[in-house]
Amino acid sequence: MNAFFILFPALSMCLGWGIRGQFGGETGAMVPGAMVGLALAMLAGWRGRDAVRLAAVATFACSLGGMMTYGQTVGLVQNVTDGQYPPPTYWWGLLGLAVKGGVWIGLTGVFLAIAASDRYRPREMAAMVAGMLVLGVVGVQLLNRPHHPPEQLPLIYFSDPTSSKPRVEWWGGLWFALIGLMVYTGVFKKHWQAVAMALWGVLGGAVGFSFGEVLQAWGMHRKPFGEEIDKWIDWWKVMEMTFGFVAGAALGVGWKLTGLAATPPPRITAWNRPWDDLTILLWLVPTLAVELEVSWAEGWANLPFVWMLVGLLGSLAGTGWAPFGTGVAVTLVSATDTVRYLAREKALFAYYWGFVGMVVFLFVTAYLCSLWYRREAPARTWWLWTLWVQTALTWVKFLPPVLLSAGGANWFLRWGSGGVVEVSFVVLAGMLSLLVWRLEGSAPSPKPR
């Protein structure tokens, strides 16, 4: 097997997951999805619109797992209990991370395979997404409810029941949705590649998330490199990027072994264009309202699964969603998070001016994306855009508070482990850019159907 099929998607998702940690939530998880989707498309030799559509589908499929809480699950692994480390909950916490990581990347894998096939029609895709929603509700009710702490908690619970605010869990709904998809694609559609990609995703996500936390807990408690070096290491980021690396490697291996890397782009039957406009609006309004913390949309923050499914359906069945999902949507969510953080949490400028700047930036992004899409820009161009814009936005979010904050230490010392993380992003982005230039000349050209 060509090493590119492991290294390229692994490093892409490694960086994507590191960047995702700077933004968080369902919207932050769109970044590694976009990057690994474009990486796999380039490995298959897909061009222009076909590559962008695959990336858009991966963007929204990967976002679904972002609804799961895992901070307290990590705490079960690494928090000292009565002076004891590892705590009694160590293995239970690792199991929880495997359960959550497995379904997260499993969903990404199955939709990568569905997007690479032309056997699904728009109505069928809509039925699949609706079925996912129904199964998700059933799974949550059966496995993650009741949740009335401290009296009632689910029988299988991977957060901290002793916390003053035990977290609400959602992994049961995602597992029901994933299993339903695997049954449908495998039994009814005879689409074994979709089932195989789901299983590769489950394996990569389960191993990656739990192993990443093993490294984090080990580093935090053992301080293997000494106190002086340890203060420059962000062990949480080590966990995130390990998760991304292993997950991306598993998806790359699955992409190759299932034969999808040698499959020509699908000839999809798209729905009518007005449905694109409607579903983009149905995704855009709640996303912006929640990201910008609009008061009348407070309750919507608990329903991200719904409008992320709208984005997923649009990317699968539409045509306009490809440039919107890969170019505008991923940039939008990172930019709004950056503006909100700098304006509201750090008070570096008035929120109004930050919002105006963000809108101008997004109009430029939308214009460039429309030009690229019409002219069939290479997948490499889309990928480099995503790579460097997202890396730059992490610097925009990180650097001003460091340089402008008052403190006794000089600006270099104030960088701390966060500065090391930001530098590592640039180094990884540079490495990936070099890999892309090399890949461009070696990737196979897909055979026509």
pLDDT band at 301 (very low <50, low <70, confident <90, very high): confident
Answer for the pair 235, 422: CB distance below 8 angstroms, yes or no: no
Cβ count within 10 A of residue 242: 23
- The amino acid present at 259, given as its one-letter code, is G
**Structure-token pair, residue 351:** 């929120």
Q: What is the mean pLDDT of the chain?
A: 91
State the average pLDDT over residues 286-295. Answer: 80
Q: What is the structure's pLDDT at 83?
A: 84
| Vertex 132 angle, CA 130 and 138, to 5° | 110
Does the pLDDT at position 249 exceed 80? Answer: yes
User: What's residue 443's pLDDT?
Assistant: 54
The string of pLDDT tens digits covering residues 137-193 is 999 999 999 999 989 999 999 999 999 999 999 999 999 999 999 999 999 999 999
Question: Within a domain: residue 447?
Answer: no
Residue 390 has pLDDT above 90, yes or no: yes
- What is the pLDDT averaged over residues 388-396? 95
pLDDT per residue as tens digits for the range 345-365:
888 888 778 888 887 888 888
Domain limits at 314? Answer: 4-442
User: What's the Rg (C-alpha) of the chain?
Assistant: 21
Q: Does position 373 have pLDDT exceeding 90, yes or no?
A: no
How many domains are contained in the chain? Answer: 1
- pLDDT tens digits, one per residue of 202-218: 999 999 999 999 999 99
User: Does residue 304 carry a pLDDT above 80?
Assistant: no
Mean pLDDT of 47-67: 95
Percent of the chain whose pLDDT exceeds 90: 70
- Is 438 within a domain? yes
pLDDT band at 275 (very low <50, low <70, confident <90, very high): very high
- pLDDT over threshold 60, residue 449: no
Over residues 392-417, mean pLDDT = 81
Given phi > 0 = left and psi -120 to 50 = alpha, else beta, which region is 82? Answer: left
pLDDT, residue 404, reads 80
Write the pLDDT tens digit of every residue in 65-85: 999 999 999 999 999 988 889
Average pLDDT over residues 239-256: 98
Nearest residue to 446 (alpha-carbon basis) of 114, 111, 119, 51: 51
What 8-state DSSP symbol labels residue 295?
G
- Determine the Cα–Cα distance for residues 384 and 42; give it in Å rounded to an integer: 12
Q: Please check whether residue 448 lies inside any domain of the structure.
A: no
Confidence of residue 102 (pLDDT cuts 50, 70, 90): very high
Question: In the 8-state DSSP scheme, what is residue 105?
Answer: H
pLDDT band at 1 (very low <50, low <70, confident <90, very high): low
pLDDT (0 to 100) of residue 444: 53
> Average pLDDT of 244-272?
95
Confidence band for 302, pLDDT divided at 50, 70 and 90 = confident
Query: 32 and 373 in contact (C-beta within 8 Å)?
Result: no
pLDDT over threshold 90, residue 86: yes
170 part of a folded domain: yes
> CB-hemisphere CA count at 13 Å for 146?
5
pLDDT attached to residue 346: 87
Q: How far is residue 321 CA from its own chain's centroid?
A: 17
0.85 exceeded by pTM: yes
* Residue-level pLDDT at 252: 97
| pLDDT greater than 90 at residue 414 | no
Residue at 105 is within a domain: yes
Average pLDDT estimate for 431-440? 84
pLDDT of amino acid 354: 83
